Amino acid sequence: MRELACIPLLPFAAFVILIFFGRRLKGVAPFVSIAALAGAIGITCSLLDAVAHGQTLSLRWAWLAREAPLWSVGLRVDGLSWLMLAVVTVIGTLIQLYSVGYMRDDPRASRFFAYLSLFCASMLLLVLADHFVLLYAGWELVGLCSYLLISFWFEKPQAAAAGRKAFLTTRLGDTGFLLGILLLAAVAGELHLDRIEAIRWKLLLQHQGGLLTVASLLVFFGAVGKSAQIPLHVWLPDAMEGPTPVSALIHAATMVAAGVYLVARTLPLFTAESLQIVLGIGLATHLLAGTVALTQTDIKRVLAYSTISQLGLMFVALGAEAVGAAMFHLFTHAFFKALLFLGAGSVIHATHEQELSRLGGLSRAMPFTAGLMLIASVSMSGLPIFSGFWSKDAILLAVGHRAPWLPPILLASAVITAAYVFRLYLLCFHGRGRVPFSPGHAPQGKMDMSPISVGKMDLSPISESPWVMVLPMAVLGLGAIFGGFLGSPATHYAFFHFLGEHVSHEGVDLPLLAASALAAALGFFLAWQIGLQGRVPLPAGLRPLGHRLYELAYHKYYIDELYDLAIIRPFLAMTQALSRFDTSVIDGAVNGAGRLGWELGQLKQRFDQTVVDGFVNGVARAAQRLGALGRQLQTGVIHQYLLVVIGAAVTIALITTW
Amino acid sequence: MSVFRLLLLLNCALFSLGVYGMLTRRHAIGLLLAIELILNAAALNFVLFGRLFGQAQAQAFALFIIALAACEAVVGLAIVMSLARSANTILADRVQLLKG
């Protein structure tokens, strides 16, 4: 099964080529990475037959110590992995194709595609890994790629900050995941993913259910970070600073779904208590993020909160042990959410504007984008027949078996989902443009609830995006319409059988169908009335309360502010205190030592200058003085010389004759 | 008083005159003349003592001294000539090239 290794290696090879020769390849660069991913699709498809027959394909090799079975790692494909492979490769290819148009004018486009390739390689490694440590390696690599791609336009300070925030926040979850792996290695001594059931029973038989709960919660904490669940969801909305295709691929369809995949893969580890926590966190995230999405005014932020909310829904399903339903929703969500993001990207590409309060009436200028966005919105709102309906239906049915009180809540939240997605669609493509496009002058921030008034948008320079962007969106649109049939009675629940699940519920549940349709319609009505028309159907007495709730949701429940106050500021204060300690005490000691040496040097220099040099100079000066004395004899006057000579001669004569 | 002693006194006077001239003359040619006087006083002394002791070598010395004096005059006058050319003076105390 050597071709298994080729699946992640193909995009990795594209990454290597692009990072070294990308600039020289120029326009060809994107197609290198698309070709590599298309190759991965080919291999994935060739595996379908075997996987559909329930086979598990694997490839394993020794790593580190040959004799220790703990350290043999490998790749393996079963239904779950194959599904993720298909989602990552197909959506990855479509989005890379879209990026050819979106990033055409970017001077660093080749690097962008290199990062995308690296991301796909890491993500494929993550879903193929059959060993916790290998999975963790892929997990960290996708985190790195996410960081690189969020801050791809690092000239923008917000983008750089968003990348940092995403990296640090997910890192917190990753640390939990790593601790979970270490705990499992320590107590179970096994880290192979196909031995998870064995690990569970081993620990349960040793009466270590508590440890199992802790380990599963630590693993879940990693998923919380990656999938942006409360309390680590704060990075995902900020991550929208990255290029839109990145938001679509990484922050909607694939990487954030890795948390769902991880929990689905390791579900046997989860005890009843940890499943309760998974369900609770999923539900809280689903509801809170949904209400925040209702109030945001930036297209991409609405979609980001909607993603968080939908991921929460998947965790609700996982908490109810409905792996099939969760994965089914992951599958359909990947299509319609990627499509929503690409549509938003198309709007941003055409108008250079992503503030909803300044958009509007684009349906005439961009008919294809508008139509595809409508398909995605309808699919997401869960209108029957469209794919979102089938996956939500599956979740509702599965959850209803476990907790009868849940379906009504989820139906209520389906109204919210429909409301925010249609609000986005209507504000973007219908009504009138509110403020002419001109950067820098606009009522930022708060969305007023008053009817649309102000000026008219100049639509003339806005035109539909090029075919290279529309085509991938159209393919995703097909997925958003028909993808759901894979898990419907029409195909005899092929999706669930593929995952090896037993389907307990055959046939269409008519009351549920009606309720879903009603929820979607109600959401649409609310979006139309409140979002587009600006009517507030609240009695006057309840308005202040409504306004306060709106403010609360608009400010994202002040969670960012809370973190700032509770974590970031104390942390900064601590670092500042430490830095002061450094500058005063430690630097003082170091500088003091330096100063001491300097002073000693000064002292020695003075000794040299006075004593040693003084002696040498003194000798020289004495010789000089002596010479000066002798010089006085040498007058150059010949008569004096003669006088001396004669005087001397006379003296000698006198002495000798004495 | 014998004639020898008289002649010795003459020599002595001649020599002293030369020394005095050397010490007092400023003019370079005057100096040369004073040296001639000293040399001649010495030569006369040789002749005198040669005569006194009956020795011929002394007379030869006198001849040598005369030759030497001639040489000395030649060299000295050449020095004076070049001094006149280079320093533009032949007053001995104006030229102090050997001053330390």
- pLDDT value, residue A119: 93
Residue B98: its chain A contacts at CB < 8 A?
634, 636
A627: closest chain B residue by CA: B100
DSSP string, A470-496: HHHHHHHHHHHHHGGGGGSGGGTSHHH
- pLDDT value, residue A180: 93
- pLDDT value, residue B71: 94
Contact B96 A634 (CB under 8 A): no
Is the distance from CB of A470 to CB of A374 less than 8 angstroms?
A: no
Q: Tell me the sheet residues that pair with A59.
A: A75
Question: In chain B, what is the straight-line distance between the N-terminal and C-terminal CA atoms, in Å?
Answer: 51
pLDDT band at B1 (very low <50, low <70, confident <90, very high): low
DSSP string, A493-508: SHHHHHTTPPP---S-
In the block, tokens 């639509």 appear at A459
Three-class HEC string of A64-132 = CCCCCHHHEEEEEECHHHHHHHHHHHHHHHHHHHHHHHHCCCCCCHHHHHHHHHHHHHHHHHHHHECEH
Output DSSP code: residue A535: -
Return d(Cα A515, Cα A394) in angstroms, integer. Answer: 14
In the block, tokens 């997990």 appear at A139
Contact A635 B92 (CB under 8 A): no
Q: SS3 of A366, please?
A: coil
Contact B23 A637 (CB under 8 A): no
Q: What is the pLDDT of residues B50-73, one digit of tens each?
A: 888 888 888 899 999 999 999 999
DSSP strands (E only) in A370-412: none
A645 — contact with chain B (CB < 8 Å)?
no
Residue B92: its chain A contacts at CB < 8 A?
638-639
| Options 1.10.150.310, 1.10.287.3510, 3.90.1010.10, 2.60.120.10; CATH of B3-87 | 1.10.287.3510
Query: A16-21, long-range: CB within 8 Å, 24+ apart, which pairs?
Result: A18/A110, A18/A111, A18/A113, A18/A114, A18/A117, A19/A111, A19/A114
How is chain B split into domains, by residue range? Answer: 3-87
Neighbours of A30 (CB within 10 A): 25
Q: Peptide bond preceding A231: is omega within 30 degrees of 0, i.e. cis?
A: yes
- pLDDT value, residue A636: 82
Q: Which of A179-183, A192-196, B26-30, B76-80 has the lowest mean pLDDT?
A: A192-196
Q: Tell me the sheet residues that pair with A298.
A: A355
Q: What token pair was written down for A423?
A: 């609000």
Residue B100: its chain A contacts at CB < 8 A?
630-636
Output DSSP code: residue A249: I
A634 — contact with chain B (CB < 8 Å)?
yes
B92 — contact with chain A (CB < 8 Å)?
yes
In a mutational test of the A interface, the residue from B32, B35, B94, B99 whose CB has the highest number of chain A CBs within 10 Å is: B99
> CA B57, B59, B64, B69 torsion: positive or negative?
positive
Residue A631: its chain B contacts at CB < 8 A?
100
Q: What token pair was written down for A210?
A: 């508590």
Contact A634 B92 (CB under 8 A): no
Contact A646 B92 (CB under 8 A): no
Return d(Cα A427, Cα A433) in angstroms, integer. Answer: 9
Helices (H), B1-100: 3-24, 28-53, 56-87
* Identity of the residue in B22, B31, B100 whose CB atom sits nearest the CB atom of A631: B100
Segment-wise mean pLDDT, segments of 10 residues, chain A, 658 residues: 85 92 83 91 90 83 69 85 92 92 86 92 92 91 92 90 91 93 87 86 85 92 91 89 89 89 91 91 93 88 92 92 90 92 89 81 84 92 87 87 86 91 88 51 39 46 81 91 85 82 70 86 86 74 79 82 86 92 91 94 94 94 93 84 90 92
B80 — contact with chain A (CB < 8 Å)?
no
Return d(Cα A376, Cα B23) in angstroms, integer. Answer: 133
* Identity of the residue in A634, A639, A642 whose CB atom sits nearest the CB atom of B100: A634
Contact A642 B23 (CB under 8 A): yes
- pLDDT value, residue A462: 74
Output DSSP code: residue A558: G
Residue B19: its chain A contacts at CB < 8 A?
646
Is the distance from CB of A285 to CB of A339 less than 8 angstroms?
A: no
Neighbours of A319 (CB within 10 A): 26
